[in-house]
Amino acid sequence: MVLCEERAERPGCYRHTHGKASGVHMSGLADFGIITIATGSAAFHDMARALARSLERAGVRLPRAVVVDKSDTGLEAFFHHVLVTDALPRNFQSKLHLGRLTPFRRSVFLDVDCLVYEQFHAYLDQALRSPLCAPGELVVERDWFGITPAIVGELAGSPRSYRLLHSGLFAFEREAGGVLLERALQLEPALIDRFGVESPVSADILLSVSAAIAQLADHWPKDPAFVSPSLRWTRAPRLDIARRSALTFPNGRATSSRIVHFMGEHKSGRTYARERARLAELVPRCDLQTAFEPATWHAGAPALSLDYQLWSLQDGSRDARELGESAVRRVLRRFQPR
């Protein structure tokens, strides 16, 4: 793909438009940005707006970029970078092309049908040490596609451990991580030949096998508290994370209960529609402010609903049960406008 400047209009070219951004690069997080893909119908642009609002609502102040395939989407008001290209496939493999598109040295990719409800900077420290990092789990016998560690070893030429990675959320470094993404695409013919399946092969599988062969990737455990903040919460807000998790991940392959991926049929479900409508009320427009120091991040804005500040991180935990009414009042006073 040819990378073109602002006004390039040739098919297959890349045009980059900017939103406004401010902030000071204060830590290793200054290398990070969040990127998503919203190609196809206008419905995906609406999903991108919801994702941006959820990031703003959660106080994740990293710069963010969106890849689109047409101009005039209006997404400049929600993203710091709008990247226009018509060269991506319109399937779940499009994310594997991001190494040559991302404007960030290190990127956190989120599927456009995700919503973010908690900050996740603690896990970015782990991602800093690896070309690619994603939620994953060790595969001992075989994954849902039928690939085993022995098959990965055959492809690699020597034994390899194999972790199934979830490609709805992953962090990657532009150079070495981008190579892993490219190699994932190159693996497809071998996997099709081995398993007799049709193209396109799942990005989860391609990414997982590429990472296992290269042995350059790390993984976060698939844990309900994957992106939990340090705050303690005592009651659920209107945005019902427990119910969302149950509805959106019946097969148990959740990214996290704090970043919810409304994949498949759940895109058209009532829960996703309700969450998006609620976020539009709470965050009608994004301010696009950035901050690269985790200490400046927060879980929700104090000017918004206070019950969000007091939601229980782990509903059944001992700490949540022991957080009494006096502690709740102290937290409320902390967030009261002065």
**What's the whole-number mean pLDDT along residues 161-189?**
93
pTM: 0.77
Inside any domain, residue 328: no
The pLDDT confidence band at residue 247, using thresholds 50, 70 and 90, is very low
Inside any domain, residue 212: yes
Reported as a single tens digit per residue, the pLDDT across 272-300 is: 888 888 889 888 989 998 988 777 775 44
pLDDT score recorded for residue 257: 53
The pLDDT confidence band at residue 38, using thresholds 50, 70 and 90, is very high
Reported as a single tens digit per residue, the pLDDT across 85-142 is: 988 887 889 999 999 999 999 999 999 998 887 777 767 888 888 999 998 888 989 9
Inside any domain, residue 200: yes
pLDDT score recorded for residue 79: 97
Task: Give dist(CA 140, CA 163) in Å, integer.
Answer: 9
pLDDT score recorded for residue 17: 61
Inside any domain, residue 220: yes
Inside any domain, residue 204: yes
Q: Look at residue 164 and tell me whether its pLDDT is greater than 50.
A: yes
Task: Give dist(CA 179, CA 210) in Å, integer.
Answer: 10
Number of domains in the chain: 1
**Token reading at 23:** 């902030």
pLDDT score recorded for residue 132: 95
pLDDT score recorded for residue 251: 40
**What's the whole-number mean pLDDT along residues 52-73?**
92
Task: Give dist(CA 23, CA 36) in Å, integer.
Answer: 21
Contact between residue 149 and residue 159 where contact means Cβ atoms under 8 Å apart: yes
186 or 273, higher pLDDT: 186
Question: Which amino acid is residue 191, in one-letter code?
Answer: L
Task: Give dist(CA 143, CA 146) in Å, integer.
Answer: 5
The pLDDT confidence band at residue 261, using thresholds 50, 70 and 90, is confident
pLDDT score recorded for residue 27: 61
* Residue 24 Cα distances to 19, 31, 104, angstroms: 17, 12, 15
Ramachandran sector of residue 300 (left: φ over 0; alpha: ψ -120 to 50; beta: rest): left
What range defines the domain where residue 140 resides?
A: 121-226
Inside any domain, residue 169: yes
Q: Look at residue 224 and tell me whether its pLDDT is greater than 90.
A: no
The pLDDT confidence band at residue 5, using thresholds 50, 70 and 90, is very low
Judge residue 307's burial from the number of C-beta atoms within 10 Å of its C-beta, 0-12 exposed, 13-18 middle, 19 or more buried: middle
pLDDT score recorded for residue 52: 97
pLDDT score recorded for residue 87: 86
**Token reading at 192:** 């099709």
Q: In the predicted model, what is the mean pLDDT of the chain? A: 75
Q: What is the 3-state secondary structure (H, E, C) of the chain?
A: CCECCCCCCCCCCEEEEECCCECCCCCHHHHEEEEEECCCCHHHHHHHHHHHHHHHHHCCCCCEEEEECCCCCCHHHCCCEEEEECCCCCCCCHHHHHHHCCCCCEEEEECCCEEECCCCHHHHHHHCCCCEEEEEEECCCCCCCCCCHHHHHHHHCCCCCCEEECCCEEEEECCHHHHHHHHHHHCHHHHHHHHCCCCCCCHHHHHHHHHHHHCCEEEEECCCCCCCCCCCCCCCCCCCHHHHHHHHCCCCCCCCCCEEECCHHHHHCHHHHHHHHHHHHHCCCCCCECCCCHHHCCCCCCCCCHHHHCCCCCCCCHHHHHCCHHHHHHHHHHHCCC
Ramachandran sector of residue 40 (left: φ over 0; alpha: ψ -120 to 50; beta: rest): left
pLDDT score recorded for residue 8: 37
Inside any domain, residue 67: no
Inside any domain, residue 6: no
Q: Look at residue 304 and tell me whether its pLDDT is greater than 60.
A: no
Contact between residue 163 and residue 148 where contact means Cβ atoms under 8 Å apart: no
The pLDDT confidence band at residue 189, using thresholds 50, 70 and 90, is very high
Task: Give dist(CA 50, CA 56) in Å, integer.
Answer: 10
Range with the largest mean pLDDT of 51-60, 225-234, 267-276: 51-60
